[in-house]
């Protein structure tokens, strides 16, 4: 992964998240405390400031720096979770290997596993993992099937959309929404929505 791609991803994600302020805020107001947009936009603003310093770093150094930045800026439940994701990815990139689709798919899965460990959470709990786990599985499948990067990106956009919609009918068993019981049903999880937007944005960069 080129530094240039990481920087372009930060810029594109920053713009998309800013454009979804009202939606992300209202989702978290419905089943959380309303700060999810503020939390992630704070992290992304800091990443925008860091862009130049990422230029000369290796991929794993860059991902670790992103993790540390998110850990210290996002706060809430989601800060340590996003940080764990990038730490897991960074660790995976430290294993020497050819830059193949499998390397990326494995790194993404390693990130998701680290996040799930940190959150003590899994699929079906109405969290960001309801987007991330299916995307990780689809990514590995695409790599195994030898799909091109564009085919993979298209497939992952669809999987992320399905994942975020699936959170609507779920009961929440983790995070703030867990206290709401049945009242959380009918609402999309804010963290799942932000992850879907981030995945879609990066996939669209690949499709350009």
Q: Which of 17, 44, 54, 81 binds ligand ADP (CB under 6 A)?
A: 81
Stretch of residues binding ligand ADP (CB under 6 A), selected from 56-64, 101-109, 183-191, 196-204: 183-191
Which of 9, 78, 106, 196 is in the footprint of ligand ADP by CB under 6 A?
A: 78
Neighbours of 51 (CB within 10 A): 15
Interface residues for Mg ion in 24-53 (CB under 5 A)?
Answer: 28, 32-33, 35-36
Angstrom CA distances, 101 to 1, 17, 113, 141, 143, stand at 11, 27, 18, 10, 5
Q: Of 59 and 128, which CB lies nearer to ligand ADP in the complex structure?
A: 128
Cα(202)–Cα(208) distance, rounded to whole angstroms? 10
Say if CB 128 and CB 189 are below 8 A apart. Answer: yes
Contacts (Cβ under 8 Å, ≥6 apart) of 52: none
Binding segment for Mg ion among 22-30, 56-64, 123-131, 163-171 (CB under 5 A)? 22-30
Distance between CA atoms of residues 39 and 12, nearest Å: 17
Contact set with ligand ADP (CB under 6 A): 28, 32-33, 35-36, 39, 76-78, 81, 119, 121, 127-129, 174-176, 189-192
Contact set with Mg ion (CB under 5 A): 28, 32-33, 35-36
């Amino acid at each position: 992964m080129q530094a240039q791609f990481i920087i372009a991803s930060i810029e594109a994600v920053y713009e998309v998240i800013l454009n979804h302020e009202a939606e992300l805020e209202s989702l978290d107001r419905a089943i959380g405390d309303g700060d999810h947009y503020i939390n992630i936009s704070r992290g992304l603003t800091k990443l925008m400031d860091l862009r130049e310093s990422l230029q000369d770093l290796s991929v794993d150094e860059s991902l670790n720096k992103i993790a540390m930045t998110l850990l210290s800026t996002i706060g809430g439940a989601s800060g340590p979770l996003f940080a764990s994701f990038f730490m897991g990815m960074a660790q995976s990139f430290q294993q020497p290997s050819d830059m193949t689709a499998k390397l990326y798919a494995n790194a993404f899965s390693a990130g998701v596993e680290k996040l799930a460990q940190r959150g003590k959470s899994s699929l079906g709990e109405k969290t960001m993992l309801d987007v991330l786990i299916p995307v990780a599985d689809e990514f590995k499948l695409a790599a195994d099937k030898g799909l091109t990067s564009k085919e993979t990106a298209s497939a992952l956009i669809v999987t992320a959309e399905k994942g975020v919609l699936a959170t609507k009918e779920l009961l929440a068993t983790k995070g703030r929404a867990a206290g709401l019981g049945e009242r959380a049903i009918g609402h999309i999880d804010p963290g799942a929505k932000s992850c879907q937007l981030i995945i879609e944005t990066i996939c669209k960069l690949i499709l350009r």
